[in-house]
Amino acid sequence: MLLRKLDKIPQTIERRQSAIARMENRCAQARDTLTKTIDNINVIQPNAKIADEQAMTSARLEYEAQIILDYSAQKVEAARSLVDLLDQAEQEILGEIKLMESFLATKKTFDQNPLAEDYVEKLKSRIQNSTAANDGEHYCLCRGLNVGQMVQCDNPKCPFEWFHVECVGITNRSENSWLCPYCSQLLKNTTTDENRINPE
């Protein structure tokens, strides 16, 4: 999901930069008109219509100045929203990195414990022996078939791998990393054993 968002960022940046460039062109056109109008004021010959021409020129100057101010404000807002977009993307990336670091640290602790590996291997062999006679594959703590909503344990050495959502009590899976009850307990036990062996 994050990668899809990140893929769209260059397109969004390009669109916003194009919008800023269009606003800059409009500002430049308004400045040119403003400059020409000011130059025309200097050229006006005294005659009976001077008051009317000055009033029109003054109104035109105000109008062009307002256009420049409006486009300048829009440019600033577009640039500000672009900076906000990039800040948000940076925060999401940093959050994903922290989540992955946390997951990898947990996985490394689990993978480096020989007791955990032995336990998982014994459990796997028992499960494989008990399911060898069955025609369909069984999953979960309930040993049921792969039906309904399932969730996968993130421990690659999990003996069950897939679990029925109802059996493990998940109502809303919002976190990216999930360990089944067996692997969670195994991880707790190995952490406790390490603390007993290597007290700090």
Q: SS in 3 state form for 49-64?
A: CHHHHHHHHHHHHHHH
Q: Cα separation of 146 and 152, whole Å?
A: 12
Element (H, E) at 5: helix 2-43
Q: Is 138 annotated as a binding residue?
A: no
Q: How would you class 23 by CB atoms within 10 Å of its CB: exposed for 0-12, middle for 13-18, buried for 19 or more? A: buried
**Does 142 appear as a known binding residue?**
yes
Distance CA(150)–CA(12), nearest Å, equals 36
Strands (E), 114-154: 138-139, 144-145, 150-152
Which contiguous run of DSSP H or E holds residue 162? strand 162-164
Count other C-beta atoms under 10 Å from residue 127's C-beta: 14
d(CA 53, CA 90): 55
Is residue 153 part of an annotated ligand binding site? Answer: yes
Annotation-wise, does 27 bind a ligand? no
Binding residues for Zn(2+): 140, 142, 153, 158, 164, 167, 180, 183
Binding residues: 140, 142, 153, 158, 164, 167, 180, 183
